[in-house]
Amino acid sequence: MQITKEHRHLTLKQIDAQETYKVRLPVLRPGRPIEDCEFNNDSHIDTFHLGLYFNADLIGVVTFMKTNNEAFPESKQYQLRGMAILQDYQGLKYGDILVEAGDSLVKERQGILIWLNAREIAVKFYERNGFTISGNPFNIPSVGTHYMMYKTI
């Protein structure tokens, strides 16, 4: 996949679900058992995972699942899940690279809408990446307040 010059240490690859656990665990499930990193449909044929490497190290992951949300009339929807950048690499806009690459791959698969459940702290990040809040905030037990967000592509 294409990486711009200013990101010359970075490589983006499609990876297996299990590879994502290396970043999901410390960032999204700290202190929990590795089994808690698995999402339903992680290995579904329509699911894809992206990994961002800094030199040889996996530092960021994101997952896209072909899942329709009744809130939206569009037929070919993808859900963005498990967006995570290792703490030492957060705040450097590396997340944008994963979102942009995901958008292109969803388009290639004829997807027309991407939606997600955003943690409150990530809402601004997603807004900057073209997502809009839909509806009211809601609580996910033991994770906190979330907002459903979407964009058409």
Ligand X SMILES: CC(C)(COP(=O)(O)OP(=O)(O)OC[C@H]1O[C@@H](n2cnc3c(N)ncnc32)[C@H](O)[C@@H]1OP(=O)(O)O)[C@@H](O)C(=O)NCCC(=O)NCCS
Cα distance between residue 94 and residue 124, in whole Å:
15
Tokens of 80: 């963005």
Q: How far is the CB of 25 from ligand X (least distance, A)?
A: 12
Closest CB to ligand X among residues 27, 105:
27
The residue within the footprint of ligand X, chosen from 15, 50, 118, 149 (CB under 6 A), is 118
**Pair 60, 86: CB distance under 8 Å:** yes
Q: Which of 48, 125, 147, 150 binds ligand X (CB under 6 A)?
A: 125
Please provide the size of the chain in residues.
153
Indicate the SS3 state at residue 43: coil
Task: Report the alpha-carbon distance of residue 48 to residue 133 in Å, rounded.
Answer: 24
State the minimum distance, in angstroms, from the CB of residue 110 to ligand X: 25
Binding of ligand X by 85 (CB under 6 A): yes
Q: Is 90 in the site for ligand X (CB under 6 A)?
A: yes
26 part of the interface to ligand X, by CB under 6 A: no
Query: Are 85 and 94 contacting, i.e. CB atoms less than 8 angstroms apart?
Result: yes
59 binds ligand X (CB under 6 A): no
- Exposure on the CB side of residue 16, measured as CA atoms within 13 A: 2
> What is the closest distance, in whole angstroms, from the C-beta atom of residue 58 to ligand X in the complex?
13
> Nearest approach, Cβ of 152 to ligand X (angstroms)?
19
Does the footprint of ligand X cover residue 115 (CB under 6 A)?
no
User: What's the distance, Cα to Cα, between the start and end of the chain in Å?
Assistant: 19
Question: Which residues form the interface with ligand X (CB under 6 A)?
Answer: 27-28, 83-85, 87, 90-95, 118-119, 121-122, 124-125
